[in-house]
Structure 1
Amino acid sequence: MAVARRIRRRGWMNAANKSNQTTTTEPRRPVVRHLAVRSRTAGSLAEAKAYVFHVEGTLVDTVLPSVNCWLQTLAEFGQVFRTADVHRFHGMDSEDLLDRLLPEGAARENKEFILAKYRSRWATEVLPTLRAFPGVRELIGELVARGAKIALVSTGGAEEVAHYRTLLGVDDLVEVVVSGEDVARGMPHPDLIAAALDKLGIRQPGDALLVGHSPYDAEAAHAAHMRSVGMLTGLFARADLVNAGSQSVFLDAKSLRQALATPEVAA
């Protein structure tokens, strides 16, 4: 009887150990607590009637320069953050970003001064150093050749957007450009997207596709009742973009163009 009990005990221990090993080795999907999972409307990526591109971070490499600009500016006002703290809210409307970062009280009272300093530093020190991502013109040219309409949206002012257009060299392919001066709010509010669709003459948001780089682009598209795809050029995790509502996620403009040429991916 004692031997039988030892055998049964060893069997239970072995079974428990195997169960624990299975639990610890099973891969886990990352949990993005600050983003809700969105319902996604199915549809072909290659057959949208219009494509709306968020310029910053998607077509022009602005993410790390912008984060560094925020860090320097905030430090001047006694607010010290880590790169990850600021990047977490990158792509969000500037005022919303500061509301998330700054503590209540005196820091928020300085918000307008912080915004003014950031914009001044961005225009004079950062903007001249920016570069467009490779493959942007080829991607947009391919979409236009398929008969699609193209819109560019940016939170920047007129002069900033003019600089981006010079970098991109796609004015002959683009029908509509919407800047931050045309709307009251940036992402994740749908204002920029709604203005672009209106100017394009798109009455059914489901006929258009937003191409963005941050979870806040995907959330804005969701609010506008349209589909979106994400680019890893924003340096967010793929899970962040998917959980925010991106139908698909691509490395960059080149990989999106390649995917559009592959029926099983584009569908």
Structure 2
Amino acid sequence: MATTPTGSPDDKTGQLATSTARPGRNSSPPPEAPKDDESKKGGPGSSGAPIEGEPDDTPSPATVVYNPPDVDPVCVVWDVDGVLVDSYAPHLKSWQQTAEKLGVSYTEEDFLSGFGKTSREHLKENFGASMSDEQIEEIESEKEALYREMVMEEFPAMPGARELIQALKGADFKIALATSGPAANLMLAVRLMKLQPFLSGVISGGDVAKGKPDPEIFLKVAKNCGVKPGRCVVIEDSKFGVQAAKAAGMGVLGLLSTGHDASELTEADRVVESLEGLAADDLRALLPKA
């Protein structure tokens, strides 16, 4: 999925660093000020050059340094299911109803085995490896449409998610979303949570050839956002997601969500039970050490 352009920090914002003295200046008393306004005649004051007798702490143009905004930004990459959206129950229910319609046995254990994988991969593993691409596409489309109907009734946003995104954006972080799910699910979350103004890029399952734990999805979203992998921190709730982020060379915040336990997140750099109360510095601390 193409990068979603958003407003970036003002690239004309900078700080001025000034020198407090200039070589070659002496401490003798300033001469008597000229009686005529020489600056209006094209005299010494009209060129911008220092006028003899200015205080020594007046900066000259040569000592003014322009500091551009961060040219090596930090990007926080968010998984969607279980991180932005508490989607465990509606996904499980929509998979079970799809399996029932097809006359296929499907348990909660089957559901748990698919975390982090694309729907295409999950369908082949649990509904028949011999299915054609057309059959997979049709079943996936029906299942995900059913899921979206369920979450539209009462959207289950994860507590603290939008507040943390706002804090990160305020600290000049880039924000990206990377999910193994369909683009329509991702964009539904973006619309209902009003996230569009915050985003620098999004990637969905249809944009990658391999699902997690392959790092493709995270490497691709980092490239689309113009950020080095080593300047990214991923928020993930699944074992495969954590493994994919680590394989991409990124920092990882593990989030304990419905259906997961801490044993799945042992490779994360930090594990939290909630996003509430987290700040930009908490994410910055998880960047891989150079």
Per the normalisation by structure 2, the TM-score is 0.63
* Alignment-derived partner of residue 253 in structure 1: 275
Describe how 1:127-138 pairs up with structure 2 within 5 A: 127-138=152-163
Describe how 1:185-200 pairs up with structure 2 within 5 A: 185-200=210-225
Q: Specify the code of the residue in structure 2 equivalent to 1:148.
A: F
* Alignment-derived partner of residue 256 in structure 2: 232
Q: CA deviation at 1:223?
A: 2.5
* Alignment-derived partner of residue 217 in structure 1: 241
Q: Is the 8 A contact 1:123 1:160 kept in 2?
A: yes
Q: Is the 8 A contact 2:118 2:205 kept in 1?
A: no
Against the structure 1 CA distance between its residues 210 and 97, is the aligned structure 2 distance closer, same or farther, given a 3 Å change threshold? same
Deviations 1:67-117 (A, max 9, x none): 111111112222223223312322321122233334666899964553243
Q: Is the 8 A contact 1:68 1:83 kept in 2?
A: no
Which residue, out of 248, 259, 265, partners 1:241? 265
* Alignment-derived partner of residue 163 in structure 1: 188
Separation (CA, whole Å) in 2 of partners of 1:157 and 1:103:
20
Which residue, out of 95, 114, 121, partners 1:96? 121
Q: Is the 8 A contact 1:190 1:223 kept in 2?
A: yes
Q: Is the 8 A contact 1:58 1:213 kept in 2?
A: yes
* Alignment-derived partner of residue 231 in structure 2: 207
Q: Is the 8 A contact 1:102 1:108 kept in 2?
A: no
Q: CA deviation at 1:51?
A: 0.7
* Alignment-derived partner of residue 182 in structure 1: 207
Q: Is the 8 A contact 1:54 1:211 kept in 2?
A: yes
Q: CA RMSD in A?
A: 3.3
Q: Percent identity?
A: 27
Q: Specify the code of the residue in structure 2 equivalent to 1:229.
A: L
Q: CA deviation at 1:181?
A: 3.9
Q: Is the 8 A contact 1:86 1:101 kept in 2?
A: no
Q: CA deviation at 1:136?
A: 1.5
2:83 is aligned with 1:58: yes
Instruction: Please say which structure displays the higher CA radius of gyration.
Output: 2
Q: Specify the code of the residue in structure 2 equivalent to 1:65.
A: P
Which one has the bigger helix percentage? 1
Separation (CA, whole Å) in 2 of partners of 1:85 and 1:195:
28
Q: Specify the code of the residue in structure 2 equivalent to 1:141.
A: Q
**3-state secondary structure, aligned to 1:254:** coil
Separation (CA, whole Å) in 2 of partners of 1:160 and 1:102:
21
Deviations 1:91-146 (A, max 9, x none): 32112223333466689996455324313322444454432112112211222233
Q: Specify the code of the residue in structure 2 equivalent to 1:79.
A: V
Separation (CA, whole Å) in 1 of partners of 2:219 and 2:152:
26
Separation (CA, whole Å) in 2 of partners of 1:123 and 1:230:
25
